[in-house]
Structure 1
């Protein structure tokens, strides 16, 4: 039997908990049930490796964590690991229910970053729920957090360094070769840096799209699919002149500007993957997965 091509799917944290939506576990379960049906359908033609975001979820954990003042708040790397377990478990269960004959494995994944990355002084990664301007200013004063506008809302931003190396890549490859549907690099991976004593965590949240693209290059995948809460990549987003991109080349994307905290990393991840691997990459809405790869919906990037 001919082996199916390999597809890395990056599932946005905002696709699982939409902007302004209640952060309840049941809400996330319902959204994950929808995501699982879409991803299960992709396994008919592809060997799927799933990377998920954690922006809303890790921000919620940080809020819950800071509410108990008898203990020093846990750092973001530990909260990121917690979110890997939480979201990974829910995805694993939903996917197994859709694909009872398929092995579905969740791998806690560390990703090395550079402690000198300029991202540590210029936070751009949105995490947590949305706030109005007054609420964001109050939280900034109370907790020392930084906020940026996200559309008509405000959200907390944290450092998002470039992923350099996926430490558990050999284990991921071994699971793919055994035809497991692998859930890994959750939340972009737990950010770690090398020190004299080995690896240690660092305060950051890695962009899951850049992490997914790095994984896709390392395992020489055939396609990269980024599923989010936007139905395509738009030029002039939020302006009266906004318009979607249907099919585009990496060369054309180099001259276009996108928001550094949201669509920018998605476009960069896809462009770099297509240039490096000569595969295809798509960006669009969760429900449109297969149609994005076919070029019928969303944005498709190819040479």
Structure 2
């Protein structure tokens, strides 16, 4: 299952430790329901708000300590959120049930995303400050939402998670695994067999699809803010789609039904997973997650290899 970083720091919150822990406790209850139903569970969580806060802290203390690269901040947030979630799950399922894996995701340095970075990260700067940061750090700086200038980083497609065999072993030992947090720490392969860090942001849903595919998972659940995906969204014809075949999902995506700024990444990740594993992808809310796993429940949106019923 993949859940956003906004589930741990909500839009109306500042991101205090107490808020994150309270949100994690709610998430842990839903994860525990899956465990009680007999599922082996891997959780991929986002980290957008949290890594953004870390970036702001870095820039606010440059006179005291050296700022760390973005890939290090991703690793920090994986440890932070993995700890909070593991303790929340253990409080329900018993000590040692949940294990966080600091995960590294291979990306291609030649990915087109590096030619036009579009993901904002960190604090806002004035135009003159942005010019200084671009010259001093080599950052790509762009105006964002009329509030100032921010650093823009690439969001390349993930290729492989280095620790997927460790995740498989932990699942075999009956653990709930927290992996690929924030999409994983982006790394590349070098000529000497090393894996240097890369400053990039990996979409958590795309990372979940790569990991779920490598594990040959039966189901991949992408948690969002709505119970089901809508087609013809924003029009009088808007209606939920409860099941799509792989072919239909590809057709809807090509028609522009799912824009890149909304449901598009989840549909793309679902297509990639279903094609790779022949499993089923489910998109639904946290509240309806367990129901949506049942094929005949009529809850959520299921993307399946071949059509088995009505599309709406």
Give the TM-score, by structure 1 length.
0.84
* Structure 2 spans left out of the alignment, 5+ residues: 135-140, 307-312
Residue 55 (str. 1) matches residue 48 (str. 2): yes
Which residue number in structure 1 is paired with residue 153 of structure 2? 158
Which residue number in structure 1 is paired with residue 62 of structure 2? 69
Q: 1:155 Cα deviation (Å)?
A: 9.0
Q: Partners of 2:213 and 2:237 in 1: how far apart?
A: 35
In the alignment, is the contact (CA less than 8 A) between 1:12 and 1:229 conserved in 2?
A: no
Aligned residues: 286
Moved more, 190-199 or 15-24: 15-24
* Structure 1 spans left out of the alignment, 5+ residues: 1-8, 130-134
Which residue number in structure 2 is paired with residue 296 of structure 1? 298
Q: 1:19 Cα deviation (Å)?
A: 3.0
Q: 1:113 Cα deviation (Å)?
A: 0.5
**Which protein has the larger Cα radius of gyration, Structure 1 or Structure 2?**
2
Moved more, 37-46 or 96-105: 96-105
| Alpha-carbon displacement from aligned partner over 1:124-166 (angstroms, at most 9, x marks no partner) | 446569xxxxx787796786644666xxxx9975311111111
In the alignment, is the contact (CA less than 8 A) between 1:11 and 1:50 conserved in 2?
A: yes
Q: Partners of 1:186 and 1:55 in 2: how far apart?
A: 10
In the alignment, is the contact (CA less than 8 A) between 2:284 and 2:300 conserved in 1?
A: yes
Question: Map of 1:1-303 to 2, 5 A cutoff?
Answer: 9-44=1-36, 45-70=38-63, 71-100=65-94, 103-125=97-119, 145-146=141-142, 158-197=153-192, 198-237=194-233, 242-255=238-251, 256=253, 257=256, 258-294=258-294, 295-302=297-304, 303=306
Q: 1:82 Cα deviation (Å)?
A: 0.4
Distance 1:10 1:192, change over 3 A: same
In the alignment, is the contact (CA less than 8 A) between 2:89 and 2:97 conserved in 1?
A: no
| Alpha-carbon displacement from aligned partner over 1:95-143 (angstroms, at most 9, x marks no partner) | 00010166211111111101111111233446569xxxxx787796786
Q: 1:235 Cα deviation (Å)?
A: 3.2
In the alignment, is the contact (CA less than 8 A) between 2:249 and 2:303 conserved in 1?
A: no
| Alpha-carbon displacement from aligned partner over 1:29-53 (angstroms, at most 9, x marks no partner) | 2211111000110012211111111
In the alignment, is the contact (CA less than 8 A) between 2:130 and 2:150 conserved in 1?
A: no
| Alpha-carbon displacement from aligned partner over 1:46-75 (angstroms, at most 9, x marks no partner) | 111111111111111111111112245321
In the alignment, is the contact (CA less than 8 A) between 1:281 and 1:293 conserved in 2?
A: no
In the alignment, is the contact (CA less than 8 A) between 1:119 and 1:160 conserved in 2?
A: yes
Q: 1:240 Cα deviation (Å)?
A: 6.5
Q: Partners of 2:166 and 2:195 in 1: how far apart?
A: 18
Distance 1:18 1:127, change over 3 A: farther
Q: Secondary structure at the match of 2:288?
A: helix
Q: Secondary structure at the match of 1:51?
A: strand
Give the TM-score, by structure 2 length.
0.82
Moved more, 115-124 or 198-207: 115-124
In the alignment, is the contact (CA less than 8 A) between 1:113 and 1:164 conserved in 2?
A: yes
Q: 1:25 Cα deviation (Å)?
A: 2.2
